[in-house]
Amino acid sequence: MAGRLLTAAPYHRLWTNVRTYSYVLAMTQSGYLVGRGLSDVTGEPAGCGMLGYGKADQISAGLHTRLRTRAFIVVDAATGRRLLISVSDLPLMFDSVFREVLRRLAATYGDIYTDDNVMLTVTHTHCGPGGYSHHRLYNMTTHGFHPLTFNAIVDGIVESIDRAHADIAEATLRLSRGELRDASVNRSPSSFDRNPESDRAHFPDRIDPQTTLLRVERDGATVGAINWFATHGTSMTNRNCLISGDNKGYAAYHWERVVTGIDYLAETEPDFIAAFAQTNTGDMSPNLHYGPGRGPTDDEFDNTRIIGERQAGAAAALAELDAEELSGGLDVRTTYVDLSDITVRPEFTGDGQTHRTSHVMGGAAALAGTDEGRGFPGFKQGRNRIVDGLSRRIIYAVSPRLRDAQSPKGIVLAGGLLNRVAPFVQERVPVQLLRIGRLYLIGIPGEVTITAGLRMRRAVADVVGADLHDVLVAGYSNAYIHYVTTPEEYENQRYEGGSTLFGKWEAPALTQVAVELATAMRDGRTVDRGDRPADVSAKLRSARQRPPDEPGDDGDFGTVLVAPGAAYRAGQTVTSAFVGANPNNNLRRGATYLEVQRSAGTGWIRVADDGDWSTKLSWRKQGKAGSRVTITWDIPDGTPPGDYRIAYFGDVVDASGFLAEFSALTKPFAVTP
């Protein structure tokens, strides 16, 4: 089944903006073994602050699409060396998750999977539950640490890796690249334009259009794929409170479920798994009309689907190429650096001088937000006269080093000082370089702009002798440090510059570290691993516990409050509502809160669940501890006529902590031609 999707001719008509290329690589007798794994990392759908936009009033109130995680293990058959790449539909990757995943893997596999060969990265949706960091900055708008969401994420990632480990088998890898030009725009063109012509000429449209596909084949059929393309997970706006994988989550869903037809709730491993990863996406936006929820339409749900379909279509077009096998061994170098105190050599700073990074400083422009989502009132992108003046006359006048590192940023947050009181933001971070044949991935724990990424890629490519297109920045990897801009972009102090926490020389510092890793890899040397960041989990502040469930005055749990009508046609929406329970009682990972069922003979079969694009579950608190759950089904085109019904599955927690399941069914309704 997975092989048939590759002959889908309509993709060539739909994705006219995609130009494809393939690499002709020498073959090797040793080859690769590859394992694939898929699992569920959906956190709390009710009352959990969402992460990405930093808005305290964006609190989860239901579920549109489940968040998934996909793991790929690549083994060099000749040497036994292996690499693990995990891509999760999550807002950010934190040291908290990275550390706990590695701890659990060590308990099962010993030293097979460590921070030496594991890359955990995310798609950067802005509509996932937060509160899973051990650093307080990221839990400020999520109302504290949420152990339930944290464990759902860790459990799901480890589960997908376990499945990938069990799935390891002989495979062929093929590497292709192309261009996708209608899924991103540059949201900070004035910053981009400050870069020199030699950089700007590489991106004539101010975007990075490269889309790269690593394809996994078994017996001639495509069974897995990792796609890298730079666009933000912000098609859904900060007004949305339903959990969503955003455009990259939809891209994976579209290729896996819509095109290939896999069943996420099946007990067997799927025939095909597709991950859509980020690269240097710091200034890349999917909002093609430059505004929240704007572009290509004025509907955020349509935008999410369309931008996701374009990425999936570009990847599928690449998968149809008759590309030669990827060959060559595997290699990796990982180091931990104190990004607050790196001396950057003149060949990386660009001005012929030596400079140093500084402790974390947040800028006024960071609080202003972006054109995709407004921030706090009173702040704006660019210059903030009062804050800038105070920083210049007081902070920078007292500390020449800070002035050299952070000016002209208007400082509103001194993260280094706050770290002395409590774990506020991570400063010691991992930097990684992975090689799979001729593909190089620079693992950076931040949001790298396309030009900052270009400079890193060029520097690494020059050292290892690779084609520039074979070297990618893998952003959001293994931790999080906010943004990475070029010194020229930093001077503009738009949102990205204000969010470049370690100052003007942060990107040159990371480029310097990446070059050191590349040089060691080229020469076959080990690197100084550096000191891992301290474990700060003991200093967490958890969110308040919720009270036991109460049904309220409208009936017992499961009572149908709004019943569907008698008949519908494709394109219409079926709505039902129930006396429910808090969905956080049981996150139902790998299962579902709802089903759309169709009558089939003497029974009913599931045709959609809470992981499908066509369904939505909305939750609303009722009174002190009551819940009202609304389920909608947008009937897809092509839905067969027949009798259907909606099923709702809930779980009640009583005062003693006992968990009891219940279910509810609506009366049947007809779908007519």
> The tokens of 282 are what?
């710091």
How far is it, in rounded angstroms, from Cα 478 to Cα 94? Answer: 6
Cα gap 233→335, rounded to integer Å: 28
Phi, psi of 161 (to 5 degrees): -70, -40
Segment (H or E) for 13: helix 10-14
Backbone angles phi, psi at 249, to 5 degrees: -60, -40
Burial of 297 (0-12, 13-18, 19+ CB in 10 A): middle
Tokens of 353: 């001088």
CA distance 595 to 605: 9
CA proximity to 224, closest of 116, 343, 73, 329: 73
Question: Which residues make beta-bridge pairs with 13?
Answer: none
Residue 17 is inside which H or E element, if any? none
Whether 333 and 432 have beta carbons less than 8 Å apart is answered as: yes
Structure tokens at 123: 């798609």
- The answer to whether 246 touches 609, Cβ cutoff 8 Å, is no
Transcribe 235-257 into DSSP letters.
Answer: SS-TT--SB--HHHHHHHHIIII
Half-sphere exposure of 552 (CA within 13 A, CB side): 19
Strand partners, 186: 284
**What residues are paired with 344 via a beta bridge?**
355
> Which residues does 268 contact at the CB level (< 8 Å), separation at least 6?
none
Q: What DSSP string describes 324-361?
A: PBP-S-EEEEEEEEETTS-EEPHHHHSSSS-EE--S-E
Active site residue: 285, 340, 358, 576, which one?
Answer: 285
**Interhelix angle 246-253/300-319, nearest 10 degrees:** 50
Q: CA nearest 348: which of 532, 544, 551, 504?
A: 504
d(CA 139, CA 537): 13
Q: Which two tokens stand for residue 474?
A: 């893998």
Residues in the chain: 673
φ and ψ at 618, to 5 degrees? -110, 135
Q: How does DSSP classify residue 485?
A: -
Alpha carbon separation from 197 to 184, 347, 531 (Å, rounded):
21, 19, 39
Q: ∠ CA(314), CA(319), CA(323), 5° rounding? A: 125
612/635 Cα distance (integer angstroms):
11
Q: Which residue has the tokens 């210049």?
A: 392
Q: Measured between alpha carbons, how far is 226 from 249 in angstroms, rounded to an integer?
A: 13
The answer to whether residue 537 is catalytic is no
Pairing of strands 355-356, 343-344: antiparallel
The set of residues, in sequence order, having a beta carbon less than 8 Å from that of 357 and lying 6+ positions away, is 339, 340, 341, 342, 344, 405, 502, 503, 505, 506, 509
Beta bridge partners of 621: 627
What is the Cα Rg of the chain in Å? 25
Alpha carbons 64 and 533: distance in angstroms, whole number = 36
Q: Which residues are catalytic?
A: 285
